[in-house]
Structures are given as C-alpha cells and as structure tokens.
A and B are shown apart, each in its own frame.
Chain A
Amino acid sequence: CGLRPLYADGGKGSVAQSLSQIEVAPIPGQAGWLVRNAVSDRMAAGGSGEKRYRLEIELDDQLTGFGVRRDNAVTRERRTLRARYRLVDGATVVLDATAGSDAGIDVVSSEYATIAAEQTALENLAQQIADQIVTRLALYAKRTQAEQ
C-alpha cells in the first residue's frame, strides 16, 4: 500500500518547509494561548521561514457531567475541546477543517482537586488538538506538493 514518511527529507523537506510558512493568529483566552503556542512550536520544527499563510483557529471548550448517582450527584466529568481552523492564503481560504478531543475527570470529594484536574485536562487537550491540526496541515501540504 505504499507507505511513505509524511515528513520525508526531514526539516529540509517540502512539507516541513511549507509548515514553517504558516503564522498562527492570536486566539482569545487561556485555552487559546495554550493551543496557539503548541501549534506554533510544532510548526517551527522545520525552521521559521517568512510567513505566507495565516492559520485562524476558533476554540469551543465544554465541560459536561455524567455518571449520575440516584441523589443526582455527578461523579464523572468530561472536558471536550474542539477547534475549527481555517488556513488562509492571502484572501482565499484553502483549508477549513475541525479537530477535537476529550478527557475524562473523576469528581473527587475535594472540589479544588476536581478544578485542578479540569485544568490539567485542558493542558493535555491543547497538546492533542495541536497534534491533530499540524498533522492535517502536513497532509494538506503533502497533497498540494504532489499535485504541483
């Protein structure tokens, strides 16, 4: 089935180079700060060329409770972080896709421990969302390279 490395020729490869031409637009809030830095760090792995593309990311962060006991007490929470992102070349949107993941959190008797676990879940989810976005951009770069 012809498997080839996505980042062939490493940092000098065409995929890594085109990733380094992407600039990530600021995203509001703490989740935005975390995701923006995670995505920028991954794309700077191939050096940082002059910026030709612009990546706009919108985040949606949800916290839902379930595992409900008879007395309606919630015993388990799930934090879902979803991103909708657009790669913009000049004025045209060349890629419009979504990424998302979730993390489970146990509701423990100390309420602050649950809040801290929700914060850690957000930090881990930010890394996962960044992985999904950068991989999808790399696939797009590889496909457009192949077409040219």
Chain B
Amino acid sequence: QGAVSALKGHNSNAPVDVEADRIEVQDRADRAIFSGNVNVRQADLTMNSARLTVAYSGGTSGTQIQRLDASGGVTVRSPSETARGSVAIYDLDRRLITMLGNVTLTQGANTVNGGRLVIDLDSGRSTIDGKGVGGASGGRVTGRFTVRPSGN
C-alpha cells in the first residue's frame, strides 16, 4: 500500500471522455449538462456522479474544458485512492479538485472524513477540514491510519 500516490503528476490536459444517459448542450453558454450515471475519465482518474456540468471555452483552436462540476453523490477514483462526497469541482486550469459535503478519502486502509477536501494535483497535497456545507462531523475531521508494519 506504500505506493506513492498516483495523483501527483496527473496530466490535466489529457483528453476527457464522458458517458451519461442524457446530454444537453447549451452552446451559447459554452456549457454541456450530462445526467444519469455520469462517468468521466481522464488518463487514470475517473469520476462518476448523478449529474455533471462541463464548462468549456469555445475558441479558434476548438473546445477546451475548463471546469467540471459534479453533484448528486460523487466518487473520484485514482489508482491509489478514492474520494467521495456530495459535490465535486474539478478546475483543470488551476489543477485543483475540491469536494464538499461529508467527504471521505480512503487510501488503502487509511480513511479520513471531514467537511471539505481540496486535492492540489501540482503538489500532490490533499487538505481536509471541517468547513464545507453541512459537514457531517460538525466541523471536525476524523481519520484512521494504519502504522506501517515496520512501525517502531
């Protein structure tokens, strides 16, 4: 379980493919809304949720996704950890994933739960605190870590 987290060095520019039951494109607002078993994959990062809103910038060189907003029970999975929460915002430009509402981050046997999770894909650092909307643990972060077997 000691594998270094795969989040670090995730390539935010990799192609993003999305599957969903329904899709509604709002061209003038440069926005597309997917709903029903939405599944987003980018390189080895996947995110599924009930609804997804994709904001992209139209322009001469084709569409460029700027931000994904998922809601209705979001699960973000990477090869080394899984994060769950009620709402997730993936800002590709600033390479930040923010999840809110009863967030749990599990990595192997370690789990952490709190109100809000911010994963910084550049530094590979994830910060959890009790703020966020209606944090279940009343503003506290709780967690469970296993000591490595060589633990002295």
User: Do any beta carbons of A and B sit within 8 angstroms of each other in the complex?
Assistant: no
